[in-house]
Structure 1
Amino acid sequence: EKLVFTKSGKWTVAFLLFASFLFVLIGSAIVSFGFKVLGVIGMFMDVDGGTTEMSSWMPFSTFSVFTFATNQAVESDFGNAGYMIGVFYLAFAFLVTAFLMPLVQIVGLMFLWLKPLTLGKQKWYYFLAEIFGAWAAIDVFIVALIIGTLEMGQLSGFLLGSVCTHVIDLINNVLVPSGWVSQNDATCLYVASSMEAGTGLLLTAALLTNLLAQVILRSAHKALHERETVVREAKLRSLTNDHKHAPHKPLNCFVRGVIRLSVRLQLLQLLNGGDLDATDGTSEIVCAAGPVTRW
């Protein structure tokens, strides 16, 4: 059964692909997640109103994560080339898999879906779409972001360890009652993480892209199978017709003529009692597609 999409269905899929492309662009540019440093340390970070780089609220987008990692490699005090190369490699790998490859995958799916292609080019675009889909890891980034958001608060409680236990009584018994520290900051350090609007756009883009990739790739696979079947059947019919209309080869005609002559000679020998001289006449080898040979 042949798979056929209506015109409205075809353009609906194309529109959703374009929307996914925009969602990836916008979701990567705006804030996706952020960290809020609470506790006494967070209060000291905001002592000047949070106008400096050391603010207790630290928002991040896909692009700012990349720039933050590269700046960390450049501004580090390690002075180790291997460390810088490793951090740069991780930063670029993150940018390629979480931003560039999802966009390239969507463009490849768009070409495979809308552009009229020959059988060879359709196979090539199908192959590239599979590769780009394997390298696009925006869904992995979203899963890691969700897990990190859920675990960051608990993880921050272990950062200072037993150091905070020596001052927690001072904070609760002196600083909180006096109004110097609010009840929400009645600890040394707590990092609260949150997901922002960018995460929603990236999640929507990931779900749409994966769904559309399944529809387009399965449709393309079925179309490739149908086109290959048509080409294979056409070649088979062509070979069959060539075989039917091909002339007999002279060598085969000559062999058949020799066999006929041999049979006739044997029959004449039997009729004349073994005397081959009684066949005083001519014998002919007649070929259907060749000249007459007389013996």
Structure 2
Amino acid sequence: MDKRSPVQGCFAAASEVLKHLKERFPPNSQHAQLWMLCDQKIQFDRAMNDGKYHLADSLVTGITALNGIEGVYRKAVVLQAQNQMSEAHKLLQKLLVYCQKLKNTEMVISVLLSVAELYWRSSSPTIALPMLLQALALSKEYRLQYLASETVLNLAFAQLILGIPEQALSLLHMAIEPILADGAILDKGRAMFLVAKCQVASAASYDQPKKAEALEAAIENLNEAKNYFAKVDCKERIRDVLYFQARLYHTLGKTQERNRCAMLFRQLHQELPAHGVPLINHL
């Protein structure tokens, strides 16, 4: 029996893909930088997923040496994760101007999404909307389906923060199918978590029977999100889901289920560092 954790299996699978590619494109002098960059990016993603931002920060140095644009973007991601918002914003603004000059559309969209996240995490979601609309227009113009779905998720999240969860739910119906069909496991979990948040926010104005029904549906979607996060061993996200579920079970008067989620949440909360980011400001 394979006793590896889900995230270990995920990275092992990625390593197998790299192995086959290296057989076709040997890591000789011509391809050496390409494979070094691939290895660095896998290590970076592992460090970020585990919340080891200090390790990710050191890996950025190696990525930067091989690919300037990629390295600068990854450095901004680390700064953002470390809550160094001002430094991340300055870096992203410079990178945005540079990528626009180079007409590097995919990176332009990625930077726009990161800048938008900085704004809503600083409680300025209205400033984020024009950037998200620009990112959506670019992703559709250049037929970048993955980035289009990611942008729709961000737009829906901005609408949730602005207090219009019904519109956010309608928007999510446009993006959820391609994400669940072809998206990364972590993105699938994020999408289902966002659907649950919007369902709960929308239920605030319902009468009691309809509200209870909506909260039950949200709990089911949270279970699905938790399953996706468990597949990549993303404990921080699982902790957030458990916190949300405990509150919903409390509202529904389900004491046993609430206590179980609260206990699991407490265990993860003691194990993981807290970064002080409100749950509502986290996609």
TM-score normalized by the length of structure 1: 0.27
* Structure with the higher fraction of residues in strand conformation: 1
Greater radius of gyration (CA): 1
* Structure with the higher fraction of residues in helix conformation: 2
